Chain A
Amino acid sequence: EAQVTQNPRYLITVTGKKLTVTCSQNMNHEYMSWYRQDPGLGLRQIYYSMNVEVTDKGDVPEGYKVSRKEKRNFPLILESPSPNQTSLYFCASSLRAGVVGGELFFGEGSRLTVL
């Protein structure tokens, strides 16, 4: 089954404790990206990757890191989480970016709470 898998789905952590949210897709997609969803603010892009070893900042990259060592994986790293990073996070992938790639396939989301 074609899917985007995120883990963990739910996490409560404390300020400053490094964490990683994993994202994996099995569709051989080139484009992967991370979004955070906050009430009233919609979906905001954190980082995106056009292909292996190619990553770039989205609109809200501060406090986050990513890597794309393999085509299927695109982990999101919070080196020192803070309460303002409490949010619902979505990973998504598409065949390619933009009009060529078409539909974004989203993971089920990871709800992160930073105390």
Chain B
Amino acid sequence: GENVEQHPSTLSVQEGDSAVIKCTYSDSASNYFPWYKQELGKRPQLIIDIRSNVGEKKDQRIAVTLNKTAKHFSLHITETQPEDSAVYFCAASRDDKIIFGKGTRLHILP
């Protein structure tokens, strides 16, 4: 079955700097790759997603890239702000199942 590896598990960056979180997946049938943000004590919420026919997608300070050949995708956050502090989950999905990575705890340092 699908396996999603996410790195790093913890990431600390200075406010204003960029953060990059990387994920790899194993099932070549996966065709949808969402990213969820979970603030402390809250539910996960979708922040950006990418489909397998697209290589890159951007939404303001957030971007996601996908390399289907290498089976990896990454989340890029530029100009980080305190409100970016949270746990971020990548996921890989095909038509029925969705598998999440183990999460990255992002700390934004003042």
Instruction: Identify the A interface with B (CB < 8 A).
Output: 33, 35, 40-45, 48, 50, 56, 58-59, 90, 97-100, 102-104, 106-109
* Interface residue from A42, A45, A99, A107 paired with B97 (Cβ < 8 Å): A45
Given A33-B98, A90-B44, A99-B31: A42 in contact with B1 (beta carbons within 8 A): no
- In the complex, besides A45-B99, A98-B98, 9 extra interface pairs with C-beta distance below 8 angstroms are A33-B98, A40-B9, A45-B97, A50-B96, A97-B96, A98-B32, A102-B32, A102-B34, A106-B45
Shortest CB-to-CB span from B25 to chain A, Å, is: 14
Instruction: Identify the B interface with A (CB < 8 A).
Output: 1, 6, 9, 31-32, 34, 36, 43-46, 49, 51-52, 89, 93-103
In the complex, what distance in Å separates the CA atom of A107 from the CA atom of B43? 7
In the complex, what distance in Å separates the CA atom of A56 from the CA atom of B46? 24
CB contacts between A and B, total, < 8 Å: 65
In the complex, what distance in Å separates the CA atom of A56 from the CA atom of B95? 13
Given A43-B100, A90-B43: A97 in contact with B95 (beta carbons within 8 A): yes
In the complex, what distance in Å separates the CA atom of A22 from the CA atom of B80? 38
Name, among A42, A97, A100, A107, the residue most crowded by chain B CB atoms within 10 Å (CB to CB).
A42
12 pairs, CB–CB < 8 Å, chain A vs chain B:
A42-B89, A42-B101, A43-B100, A45-B97, A45-B99, A90-B44, A97-B98, A98-B94, A103-B34, A104-B34, A106-B45, A109-B43
Shortest CB-to-CB span from A106 to chain B, Å, is: 4
5 A-B pairs with least C-beta separation:
A42-B102, A99-B32, A106-B43, A43-B100, A98-B95
Contacts of A48 in B (CB 8 A): 96-97
In the complex, what distance in Å separates the CA atom of A104 from the CA atom of B100? 12
In the complex, what distance in Å separates the CA atom of A109 from the CA atom of B38? 12
Shortest CB-to-CB span from A98 to chain B, Å, is: 4
B96 touching A56, Cβ below 8 Å: yes
Contacts of A103 in B (CB 8 A): 34, 46, 49
In the complex, what distance in Å separates the CA atom of A99 from the CA atom of B99? 13
Q: Which residue of B lies closest to A98 (CB)?
A: B95
